[in-house]
Every structure is written in C-alpha cells, then in structure tokens.
Amino acid sequence: LSEILLRLPPDPSSLPRASLVANRWLGLVSDPGFSRRFRPHHHRNPPLLGFFESSHFEPTMDSPNRVPEGRFSYEHTGNGCFIPFGCRHGLQLIFHQSGKQLHVRDPFNGDKRRLPVPPGFDGWETPISGAVFRAAGDIQHFQVVLVGTERNNQHHTRVIARVYSSETGIWGNLMSTPLPPKASSSMDQHPTKIRMWFTISVLVGHSLYWLLTNISAATNMLDGILEFDLERQTLAVIPVPVDIANNCLSQFQVMQAEGGGLGIFFLSKFSAQLWKMETDSDGVASWVLGRTVELDKPLSLNPEEEESLIIGGFAEYNNVVFLRTPTNFFMVQLESLQFKKVSKSNSLTRYDPFESVYVAGHGY
C-alpha cells in the first residue's frame, strides 16, 4: 500500500484526500519516512504551484489543488535592492545587491540561508546571476551556481562561475570561459552582461543555461546561451540559430526540446518557433527548426497586444511558457498547447515560476 500511495500524483490534494480513506492510510502518508520518499520520487514531475511576482506569491492551480493566495509570500528584511534569481527544487534564490549576499529561501517554512558573494562577483559593475538546485534524492543539502563577467581594462573578456555547496559550506574554485567574438567586438560601447530580465536559469539534463545578452540603452540583443555543465563543472557559450540571432532578448526562452536536449522557444510577431540542438553522425551540433505554433487565434489577442507580446517566464519541469502583454498574462503548455489566462499583467514585473511537491501544508 505504501508503494501505491508513493505513486499518487504529486498534486497538493492527493495525499490529504488519500488520508481520509482509513486510519491506516492516514498513518502511512503522515509517517516522516514516507514524506522523505515522496518528494524524491516526484522530483522530475513537480506541479506548477504558481509564481512569484517580486515577493508576492500568486497560485495558478485550480481547486482542490490551489494553494491559498499569498501562502508563500514574504517581505524583505533590510535595505537595498533584492533581485530574484529563480526557484528550483523547492528553494528560492535571491540576490541582495547592496548587502552582497545571496539568500537561499525555503518558501514552505520561511527559513533563509545567507551566503556571502565571493570575491570577483561585484554585482554592480559586473552584474551576476545564479541558480539553486538539489542533487536527485537529496532533500537536506543544496548547491548554488553563481555566474558573472570579468572585466579587463573596461572590457568584459570572459564569463566566470563558482559553485557553493551547503554540505561543505564553502565556494568551489573559479571557472571561466571566453566571451564569444560577437560580444567582445562591441565591448567599447556596450559592455556585455549576464542579466536574467525576462527569463531565469533553465535546467536541461545535467546542464544549467542562461541567455547571454549585450545590453545597451537601445537594444537587448541576444549574444548566445551560457551553459554550465553540472557533471563536468565546465562553462561554454553556445551560439543561437543564425536565422533568429538578431532579435530582442524578450523573444527568446531556453527550454528542453521535444524528445530531450537543448531547445529554444522563439517568439515572433504572430507565432512561436521551437528550435532544437541536434548532433550529426560526425559529432557536429547545429540548430534545427521543429514546430511553428500560431499564437494569435488561441490567445484571442487584439492587434495592439499582438505587437507587444513578450516572454515573461518559464516553468522548466512543466514546460510552460509565460507570455504577457501590457494588459494580460497567459500560460502556455508547449506539448499540449493548452492556453490559460492567469491574470492582468504588470508590464514592469518579471515572474518566477514555483514548481514543487507540496502536501497538506508541508513542502518536500
């Protein structure tokens, strides 16, 4: 019976409803040992509970799985700018810029771990980004990957990274990779920065990915995709497809491609293109265009909204992209192409999806 209950869907209502069947069932699902097994069993398919809009939590699931609005909301303590770096594996990563700290927050109980930003990651002149994650089956420890750019004579010449382990309590060695020629050729006027403005890091297989962009007052053009391989502990910059390279950052989203592997969701005027990285028999990797999805009719957009549709976030395990206009906010499941209007949009706000197993007031 325990093995059967372990395989119930990881929706918030599954175990509470099962516990009402009989006292024996209640005893099984309430056992701490069962709880410790339930989350790791579903670590690859956690439900999308909702999203954070700054420090406010907005639920997205329907009843009976809907989490109470504001259940995971919080208030920042201290002064200065707090920049969300996204959520993963039941944890939230926040950068306290003026305090030069990273906060690893557990939304379920409000616990917060403060990590000092290591030397070389300024956060002002050389903006940084990061990602938090847990190893499969580990519900006690976590790791943080911190990435940034390094400057030499006012030029951003390479991308750097370090990894923190909560098990050891220390930052690992510095890793680096050169910036691509496209980015370095325009350094004099527009320094290259890593900035997660419309998207957060995305975990695909055993690698984390960020969009690398050359930020200027006039353009936010994409320069490439930064990859951090968690197994090899290496950095690399991957070029984007030539056909769509000269477009704004807000039109791109890194994702897991259909069938696995690295993919790109590219938003054009009335449709979305799904690209996939494929490797030929000689081991040469290249981008291949897969599906093209029409968006104007399913979303029922008016002409003004069609012109202003941009990407507002991405839920990596549920493969759901958040699309927003100045007035509306939508979720699109990329396999089924199911569309859901969530709420009115705040065009100045970014959204951080929160995917996790959450049961009867307990997060795993």
pLDDT of amino acid 154: 55
**Total domains, the chain:** 1
Domain extent for 61: 43-178+193-355
Residue 13 placed within a domain: no
Residue 20 placed within a domain: no
Residue 34 placed within a domain: no
CATH at 251: 2.120.10
Residue 312 placed within a domain: yes
> Residues 125-158: pLDDT tens digits?
777 899 999 987 788 899 999 998 887 655 567 8
Confidence of residue 307 (pLDDT cuts 50, 70, 90): low
30 or 295, higher pLDDT? 30
Burial of 245 (0-12, 13-18, 19+ CB in 10 A): middle
Residue 249 placed within a domain: yes
Average pLDDT of the segment spanning 252-265: 92
**Strand-pair partners of 285:** 279
Residue 117 placed within a domain: yes
304 or 242, higher pLDDT? 242
Residues whose CB is less than 8 angstroms from the CB of residue 177 and which lie 6 or more positions away in sequence, other chains included: 158, 159, 234, 235, 236, 237
299 or 266, higher pLDDT? 266
Say yes or no to pLDDT of 358 above 50.
yes
> Residues 25-45: pLDDT tens digits?
999 999 988 988 898 889 889
Say yes or no to pLDDT of 80 above 90.
no
Residue 10 placed within a domain: no
Say yes or no to pLDDT of 277 above 90.
yes
Percent of the chain with pLDDT over 90: 48
Confidence of residue 163 (pLDDT cuts 50, 70, 90): very high
292 or 185, higher pLDDT? 292
Residue 3 placed within a domain: no
